[in-house]
Amino acid sequence: MVINFIILFLMIAITSFFVASEFALVKIRRSKLEQLEKENVKNAKLALHVTHHLDNYLSASQLGITLTGLIIGWVGEGSVADLLEPVIGKLPFSSAISSTISVALGFILVTYIDVVIGELLPKSYSIVNTEKVVLFVVKPLHYFYKVMFPFIWVLNHSAAGLGKLLGVRLVSEGEETLSQEELTLVALNSYEKGELTKEEYHYLENVFEFDDTLAKDIQVDRTSMQVFEASETVKEAIKASIEQGHTRYPVILESKDNVLGYVTLPDLIKQSYKDDQLTVEHLIEEPIVTTETIPIKKLLTIMRKKGKHIAILKDEYGGTSGLVTIEDILEEIVGEIRDETDLDEALIAEQSDGSYIVSGKLTLDDFQRYFHVEIPEFEETNFTTLAGFASSRYKEINAGTIIEIGSFRFTVLEYQHAHIDYFKVETMERKTE
């Protein structure tokens, strides 16, 4: 009986080894092992090899758990039942009932010990100490895999064949199968646990939304486009650019629907040393001209490939819809980028009465970030700016129109050419008081 108990606890210990191996291998990041290998950490190279053949080694762990479980059931229940039977036999039951109770209690006790010590404890430990466990178990697990390879091969191919017969595709444990929605949830969970800052979470969120954003969603619309007429001189253009604060301007011929190209401030300044009376049409560069419905991911690729910083967008009728710069596209990920050429006017200006004057160009993400709030309505829209969001939700807007969104009251201050320039923003609590 002593030998049986030694075998029992040895099998439970081996079970815990295989359970810890399984959870640690699933949780370990391959990038972390690559880093450890570069640092010449013992067993890191072998562990990296194992993660590249994860299915086979997980099968080895599962086979080990099954074999030890069978041995525990075979040896443990009878041994514990024999140990309990003399005690149970003193109770006022028949020998048959006492024997049945002893077997049942033996089964419960062995199962309890096996689950707690053999499975739950190693599982929790390996999840918390993943790297340490992987580096410890990988070598003996590798040897076990080599010895049991024929059995593992048969089991894996049997499972694959049965799955094929039933029309079920067996997904590899090592395959990356997370969808964009699942990755977003992972990022949100990491943010809620403090593993990501709010800014880092918003960066990831913006990246996930990047593929779905169209150029028309972030464009400077035609009514806001600041342009030069082809007949303007270099001197006039430099003066205007200093006042307006941009470095690139479309050049038009009489109408914004007829964009000839664009000029840059550095080229204007260089030309001014030679002849500042030359008209800007002689300095134009060919822009990218595309439809307003092009995804910004595709547009960014085109702009980088052609080395252009500005794109003119056309609507379905062939008219100019607006323009997009590389900076506009990058701001979809990192938020507003302000540099020394930007205008000094702030997108958000706090007033003495506690209200705010907010530009319609402010992005929804930047609004939420500034006021430390999350507004569900902003998450459900495809528009990126306050002006775009308000115009999409409320068709009849004029100066003085009041819009309530979340806990904020927006009053339209300036509305020109169907475009909202500024809002007055107040919190509902403040207004109520």
- Topology, domain 215-334: CBS-domain (3.10.580)
Least confident of 74-78, 142-146, 172-176, 400-404: 172-176
In this prediction, residue 183 carries a pLDDT of 65
- The yes-or-no verdict on residue 74 having pLDDT over 50 is yes
> What are 200-243's pLDDT values in tens digits?
666 676 676 666 778 888 788 888 788 888 888 988 888 888 77
Q: pLDDT tens, 286-312? A: 888 888 888 888 888 888 888 888 888
Residues 344-372 have a mean pLDDT of: 80
List C-alpha distances in Å: 203 to 38, 196, 216, 333, 334.
30, 10, 21, 6, 6
Distance CA 237, CA 22 (A): 69
When the pLDDT of each residue in the chain is averaged and rounded to a whole number, the result is 80
> Which of 36-50, 162-176, 404-418 shows the highest mean pLDDT?
36-50
pLDDT class of 138 with cuts at 50, 70, 90 = very high
Q: Which two tokens stand for residue 169?
A: 């595709």
Band (pLDDT 50/70/90 cuts) for residue 106 is: confident
- % of the chain exceeding 70 in pLDDT: 80
Q: Which of 206, 151, 424, 217 is nearest to 334 (CA)?
A: 206
Threshold 0.95, pTM exceeds: no
Question: What pLDDT, on a 0 to 100 scale, did the predictor assign at position 255?
Answer: 85
Q: Are 77 and 110 in contact (CB under 8 A)?
A: yes
* 7-11, 64-68, 85-89, range with greatest mean pLDDT: 64-68
Work out the number of other CB atoms within 10 angstroms of the CB of residue 280: 25
pLDDT band at 128 (very low <50, low <70, confident <90, very high): confident
Strand 348-350 and strand 356-359: the pairing is antiparallel
pLDDT confidence band for 136 (50 / 70 / 90): very high
Q: Which CATH architecture has domain 348-432?
A: 2-Layer Sandwich (3.30)
